Amino acid sequence: MIKDNLELVQNNIKEAYLNSKHKQEVNLIAVSKTHSVNQILEAYNCGIRDFGENKVQELLGKIDLLPSDIRWHLIGHLQTNKVKYIIDKVYLIHSVDSYKLALEIDKQAKKKNVYSNILIQVNISGEESKFGIEKDEAIELVKKISLLENIKIKGLMTIAPACENPENCREIFSLLYNLSIDILSLNIDNINRLNLSMGMSNDYLVAIDEGANFVRIGTDIFGKRDYKREN
């Protein structure tokens, strides 16, 4: 079933890419939070190598049980005191939204002698419940973080509000795209390309149309999440 779901999602991505405005590279991240190691292996055996988790503890519990060529994406809010556990284990941190967090990432990366790839999470929709830096503050944050030696800013991430009609999220995605163009036009040292992580099961087709480079898809691949089974 995961195999069939993946085939459908991958075909949809290809089609959306062919019709998209910007014809950018699109990467699929299979969001495996709450799902078992066996389910992840099923997707792995279909060729998927990028997996997304939103909780540090859950991620750490899975990493050692799974093949080492998996690229782990941390897509959830990251607490400063947990950075040290994951710094050399994840491929990309999608959720950096404060200078304080970036400083800790830089510090821990230096300790382990690694470079940390991050995205800046922007709260485009302005929803109070969402993490992410406000859009108006994003440029200053990017400038400050770009000076940290062991961090590489690889792009921007946003989470659209849950909307019934994905077309209602289009503006949010296009605002993130425009923000990335604005930032690139400033020619900030160490920033020459910004990937956009946006789009989930409900809205990834619209997100791709508006320039997504990473889509984060859970439900459409693994089915509904059962939060009662957590931990």
Ligand X SMILES: *Cc1c(COP(=O)(O)O)cnc(C)c1O
Binding site for ligand X (CB under 6 A): 31, 33, 54, 75-76, 159, 200-202, 216-220
Closer Cβ to ligand X, 62 or 216, answer by number: 216
- Nearer residue to ligand X within complex by CB, 101 or 159: 159
Quote the least distance from Cβ 102 to ligand X, whole Å: 19
- Give the nearest distance from C-beta 84 to ligand X in angstroms: 22
Minimum Å gap between C-beta 113 and ligand X is 29
Nearest approach, Cβ of 97 to ligand X (angstroms)? 12
Cβ proximity to ligand X: between 75 and 148 the closer is: 75
If the CB atoms of residues 148 and 159 are measured against ligand X, the closer one turns out to be: 159
Q: What is the DSSP string of the chain?
A: -HHHHHHHHHHHHHHHHHH-SS----EEEEE-TT--HHHHHHHHHTT--EEEES-HHHHHHHHTTS-TT-EEEE-S---GGGHHHHTTT-SEEEEE--HHHHHHHHHHHHHHT--EEEEEEEETT--TTS-SEEHHHHHHHHHHHTT-TTEEEEEEE------SSGGGGHHHHHHHHHHHHHHHTTT-TT-S--EEE---TTTHHHHHHTT-SEEEESHHHH-S--GGG--
